[in-house]
Amino acid sequence: MYFFESELELALGWRLFLGKMSRVDAKKLSLCTREPLSQETVGHSLAAFSHIVRSCYGPTGRLKHLHNGLGGYVRTTSHSSALLGSLCVAHPVLKLLTAAVQNHVSRFGDGGLFTAALCCSLLGKLRDLNMPSCTGVAICRRLSSQCVDYLASEACGCKMPVDFSRSKILLDLVRSVLTSKCGCMLSREEAGHVGTLVLKAFLLTVPQNAATGVTGFGRCFYVSMKDKRVLDSSVCSGLLIETPEFHLTRMLPGGRTTSSPIRTALFSVSLSGDVCETGEGAVIVHRGVSLEAAVLDQLLRLGQRMVKDGVGLVICQKVIHPALKQYLKENQVVAVERVGVAMMESLKEMTGSQAIASLQLLSPAPYGSLKDLRTQHFAPKWFLHLIPEDSAICSLVLCNRNETAWEELKLACQTAERVLQLTVKDPWVLLGGGCTETHLSSYLRHQ
């Protein structure tokens, strides 16, 4: 047993200990094998992986319980994004396969289980045929190019155009995504209600001044409401920020009396008064004054400048000092803190603000504006509702029976939203229920 009298000796001791441990086993050289699919262990791993993804595929797919084996949270899902992100695969072939499928999902947002099952099937067939890998790759590339060319041609018999002047086909498309996941636990009525909300949210994220061929969309934020009826879900334009009721009443003591835009200041720097988080710029400290008092004085001068400039809403990514919050409240300025980094880009977009990274405000150029500021109540939660002038940002209040069902429903809604975005780019849909796969296989046999 070792005893160390100082931090330096402790650090040196750990380095010595780790150095000895690293030389217990001799370093092994990297090994490159030829024809890895012919190995028996690869076949067993592919078969197990194929069974996992195939059993989750389709409306009759079964759920999987994901657990790390050491305790903690148990995830119940059949979504490919959650499934592949939680599986621990050791073999290089499976690592390459899961990485390829995850890249497909990140690019298209849908079809992960089908892609994984198809890849496993192709690898299994090539292994059974006992042909060289280069030949199998050439065959798969040829078949893939034939399918893509046929689907893009006008002679394709398994696709139909999307008419955006009618909502029926869009609603059917969204419902087909929602009902394909049994973990959402939706009835027919609930699937129709949520499908309508997802379509409304998608339309709210389309820029109003967009010309033909939209290339950029806004963002839909999902607000969690668990242990509630699915039919209580709703969608609204703008952004909802959850705030405790007692804090909300203190932030909005008098309410708004005018319809003029609300001047907004957005801070990415902490306004907590901590010396280590003063951001860019300098803090002037006079002789005999502590650094903490100088920072607090700088915060109050910043608040006075914003009140003088007519700012009505202050949003901080991090924390606001209680003294500054009290000063802003006394001057009828709403202060919102701890919004997090995930909302900052959307807040900059919807308000037209520039994120302020300093305690020194030199000009009103970084300010933005909002159309209105209201409160929303979805029992038992209270929200501050930020309504923009003209921005493609909305909030979808999504309700479900429990946390597991809510997580599955959120993933399904995000998938449906991504499918609608891709449909705008390429306004065609394929027949479901296995019709497209059967049609393509018949086409390939004919070719």
| pLDDT of the residue at 289 | 61
Length of the chain: 447
Q: What is the CATH number of domain 37-130?
A: 1.10.560.10
| pLDDT of the residue at 277 | 60
pLDDT digits (tens, 9 = 90+) for 61-80: 888 888 777 667 788 888 88
Q: From its phi and psi, is residue 233 left (phi > 0), alpha (psi between -120 and 50) or beta?
A: beta
Residue span(s) of the chain under CATH 3.30.260.10 come to: 159-238+394-430
For 159-238+394-430, give the CATH class: alpha beta
Q: 202: exposed, middle or buried (C-beta count within 10 Å: 0-12, 13-18, 19+)? A: buried
Average pLDDT over residues 355-383: 84
Q: Does the pLDDT of residue 1 top 60, yes or no?
A: no
Residue 147 has phi, psi (to 5 degrees) of -65, -45
Beta-carbon-side half-sphere exposure of residue 314 (alpha carbons within 13 Å): 33
> Do the strands 381-387 and 393-400 form a parallel or antiparallel pair, or are they unpaired?
unpaired
Q: Model confidence at 150, in pLDDT bands (50, 70, 90)? A: very high
Place of tokens 């504006």: 369
Q: Do 175 and 429 contact (CB within 8 A), yes or no?
A: no
CA distances from 410 to 18, 46, 144 (A): 45, 30, 32
Average pLDDT over residues 258-274: 84
Q: Model confidence at 356, in pLDDT bands (50, 70, 90)? A: confident
CA distance 252 to 315: 14
| pLDDT of the residue at 365 | 85
Angle, CA of 70, 407 and 430, to the nearest 5°? 120
| pLDDT of the residue at 77 | 85
| pLDDT of the residue at 258 | 53
For 240-279+289-390, give the CATH class: alpha beta
CA distance 273 to 286: 17
Q: Do 133 and 37 contact (CB within 8 A), yes or no?
A: yes
CA distance 428 to 159: 6
Average pLDDT over residues 306-319: 91
Of residues 355, 367, 338, the one with CA closest to residue 241: 338
| pLDDT of the residue at 24 | 56
Q: Does the pLDDT of residue 250 top 80, yes or no?
A: no
CA 199 to chain centre: 18
CA distance 171 to 162: 11
Of residues 227, 183, 157, the one with CA closest to residue 415: 183
Neighbours of 188 (CB within 10 A): 9
Q: How high is the mean pLDDT of the chain? A: 82
**Which ranges constitute the DSSP H helices of 130-244?**
133-152, 168-178, 188-205
CA distance 114 to 348: 38
Residue span(s) of the chain under CATH 1.10.560.10 come to: 37-130
The answer to whether the predicted template modeling score (pTM) of the entire model surpasses 0.75 is yes
Higher pLDDT, 222 or 364: 222
